[in-house]
């Protein structure tokens, strides 16, 4: 997984209309399942079920755009869903919005979190 792909993923999420800081759950683990049924000419994200277990919950638009963008890079649906799930533990929508507002610059903290998610899910490739 290249840094350019990770950067493109983060920028896409920031540009997808992310706003706010996400909601924090008082429960240690919350599961959110979203089924994407959007019309997609490439067929890459339609009908994909994404389950996140993290404390941050992304708007449907962010989830759809993330999956669509991620899968354009010749990776599996399972990999993309896994990385989004991993990011939902530590990365808020506000974090992604800040990337967009900064012109795509990714802080070292964010770069580390994105890389960790990518490495944690590499068995799904």
* Pairing outcome for strands 32-35 and 49-52: antiparallel
Sequence-ordered list of residues with C-beta below 8 angstroms from that of 87, at least 6 positions apart, any chain: 54, 113, 114, 117
* Res 33: pLDDT: 57
Residues lower than pLDDT 70 in the chain: 1-48
Instruction: Indicate the pTM of the whole model.
Output: 0.65
For residues 76, 81, 85, 86, the Cα torsion angle rounded to the nearest 10 degrees is 10
Give residue-wise pLDDT tens across range 35-67: 554 334 444 455 667 888 999 998 887 788 789
């Amino acid at each position: 997984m290249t840094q350019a792909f990770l950067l493109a993923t983060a920028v896409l999420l920031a540009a997808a209309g992310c706003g706010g800081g996400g909601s924090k759950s008082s429960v240690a683990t919350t599961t959110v399942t979203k089924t994407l049924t959007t019309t997609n000419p490439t067929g890459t994200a339609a009908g994909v079920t994404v389950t996140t277990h993290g404390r941050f919950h992304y708007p449907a638009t962010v989830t759809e755009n993330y999956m669509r963008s991620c899968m354009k890079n010749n990776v599996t649906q399972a990999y993309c869903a896994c990385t989004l799930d991993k990011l939902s533990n530590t990365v808020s929508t506000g974090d992604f919005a800040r990337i967009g507002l900064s012109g795509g610059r990714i802080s070292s903290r964010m770069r580390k979190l994105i890389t960790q998610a990518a490495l944690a899910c590499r068995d799904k490739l």
